[in-house]
Copies of this chain bind each other. A is one copy, B any other.
Amino acid sequence: MKTINIAILGCGTVGGGVAKILTEQQSLLSKRAGVNINLKTIAELNPEAAIKRFGIDKKYFATASPSENIKNILEANDIDIVVETMGGKSDFVHDTCLNVLKNNKHLVTANKALLAERGQDIFEQAIKSNLQIGYEAAVCGAIPIIKGIKECFTGDIIQSVCGIMNGTSNYILSQMTSQGLDFDQALKLAQQNGYAEADPSLDINGGDASHKLILLIKLAYGLKVNMEQLPITGIAQITKNDMEFAREINAKLKLICFAKREGNQVYATVRPMAVKNTNTLSFVDDAVNAVRLDNKYSGTHFLIGKGAGSSETAMSIVSDIVFIAKHQNVITEEENHNLTLGDCSKIAFPYLVSFKTKNLPGTTGLITTAIGNQGINIETVGHNRFSGETADFSIETESCELSKIEAAIAEIKSAKDGLLLESPKIIPILY
């Protein structure tokens, strides 16, 4: 039986999990791949810690200096697949990944930031070198959405891909919904329970979710989008009241990655949406991830699973290793449908618009009239949560362009100066 040798760069949470599965299940994995899958070497700054944490035999750890170890792996003739689990998008990590491919080795990585923000030349190098990049673990952890698109739904055309792709923010929003917490309380709880890092910025501001959506848009549509082009709104502005307004219309607020093809354009955004309880995404709570595909021939699909975690992410990396070992030298060009990125404010959504106003009679009439003047039908006017001087309430509209909602708000502002105490929050509703 032919042997495929694996090297792992970085033996932390994810890399250690990979080493553990590769050694625990070596014979099973080899049978599945039809070749002998062999963990050859691990380059790690702190081998002692990794040995202790994951119970990996020290024989796997290269013993030269860290940079020497990586250099040796890149230059080795008997390494077939390199797993990059160092993380980050530094020049060093970027150049190492590029050099893996230039040195004729397949690359497997969970590094979404690197691939989404600085991955273009890495992907191009793989095609040039006739090598594979396994990045299943980079998008929604254990959910097989990359192979789903590349290998499973190949008889179809993806019209829309959206989902819940960040576990931390979903955990926070779920706690706000189920426990009635404020954002700050829920964030603290997430940190206490290990669902959020000390610096949770990338999870909360939509950055991490955007990395995943950028990779899916590239895969499904062959469209290269960068972070600056993608409209991104995080969850830090969401209040307990917003949660209540959503509940009133049988919806839950979720941080949604959204991409939809219409004609020759792809409309994409990452932002909180009010997901109706007719949509399975509304039942995906806590740190779970989910992807929804709407396909031309086979309709709607949901893939739901763990989006993070050591063994979950490691499992996806090991699956990539098995796939590459089993299906070597299978390279096809990227999808290219000649699509461009559309302006997301131009596609119609129903909206949940929440208002904080002075508590004055006539306010509902004024606001609903202004909305009606824009030709927007109103579905529901929510309960007014007035408290003394101020009133909080929401309006659910039927489908319309964002610009119409904005025009209605402008009309309200000019009709009665000072009535609106805050800019209304405009949240798309997802059915």
Checking B31, B280, B306, B317 against A280 with a beta-carbon cut-off of 8 angstroms, the contacting residue is B280
Say which one of A242-250, A323-331, A362-370 lies at the interface with B: A323-331
Contacts of A151 in B (CB 8 A): 147, 151-152, 323
Contacts of A232 in B (CB 8 A): none
Q: Which residues of A does B touch, CB under 8 Å?
A: 17, 21, 25, 28-29, 31-34, 136, 141-144, 147-148, 151-157, 280, 283-284, 295, 297-306, 309, 311-312, 314-323, 326-327, 330-333, 335
Contacts of A17 in B (CB 8 A): 297
Output the residue of A25, A144, A148 with the most chain B CB within 10 A: A144
**Roughly how many angstroms separate A185 CA and B157 CA in the complex, as a whole number?**
38
Output the residue of A25, A297, A333, A335 with the most chain B CB within 10 A: A297
Checking B152, B157, B306, B318 against A155 with a beta-carbon cut-off of 8 angstroms, the contacting residue is B318
Contacts of A321 in B (CB 8 A): 155
Known contacts A144-B152, A152-B144, A152-B147; A300/B311 CB under 8 A? no
Residue of B nearest to A306 (CB): B299
**Roughly how many angstroms separate A152 CA and B140 CA in the complex, as a whole number?**
14
**Roughly how many angstroms separate A215 CA and B284 CA in the complex, as a whole number?**
29
Q: Is the CB of B142 within 8 A of A301?
A: yes
Sample of 27 A–B contacts (CB below 8 Å): A21-B297, A25-B155, A29-B154, A31-B332, A31-B335, A144-B152, A147-B152, A152-B319, A154-B319, A154-B323, A155-B316, A155-B318, A156-B318, A280-B284, A297-B312, A297-B314, A297-B315, A299-B309, A300-B306, A301-B303, A302-B303, A302-B304, A302-B305, A304-B304, A326-B332, A327-B327, A327-B330
Checking B32, B142, B280 against A298 with a beta-carbon cut-off of 8 angstroms, the contacting residue is B142
Taking the closest CB of chain B, its distance from the CB of A34, in whole angstroms, is 5
Contacts of A322 in B (CB 8 A): 154-155
Q: Is the CB of B283 within 8 A of A299?
A: no
Residue of B nearest to A18 (CB): B155
Residue of B nearest to A302 (CB): B304
Q: Is the CB of B283 within 8 A of A298?
A: no
Taking the closest CB of chain B, its distance from the CB of A259, in whole angstroms, is 19
Contacts of A31 in B (CB 8 A): 332-333, 335
10 shortest interchain CB distances as A-B pairs: A155-B318, A144-B152, A142-B298, A155-B319, A154-B322, A302-B304, A297-B315, A298-B315, A301-B305, A297-B311
Checking B32, B295, B306, B320 against A332 with a beta-carbon cut-off of 8 angstroms, the contacting residue is B32
Taking the closest CB of chain B, its distance from the CB of A288, in whole angstroms, is 8
Q: Is the CB of B33 within 8 A of A332?
A: yes
Output the residue of A142, A143, A331, A332 with the most chain B CB within 10 A: A142
**Roughly how many angstroms separate A298 CA and B307 CA in the complex, as a whole number?**
9
Q: Is the CB of B153 within 8 A of A319?
A: yes
Q: Is the CB of B315 within 8 A of A153?
A: yes
Contacts of A318 in B (CB 8 A): 154-156, 297
Contacts of A297 in B (CB 8 A): 17, 21, 311-312, 314-315, 318
**Roughly how many angstroms separate A321 CA and B155 CA in the complex, as a whole number?**
8
**Roughly how many angstroms separate A205 CA and B312 CA in the complex, as a whole number?**
37
Q: Is the CB of B304 within 8 A of A301?
A: yes
Taking the closest CB of chain B, its distance from the CB of A17, in whole angstroms, is 8
**Roughly how many angstroms separate A32 CA and B155 CA in the complex, as a whole number?**
9
**Roughly how many angstroms separate A305 CA and B303 CA in the complex, as a whole number?**
9
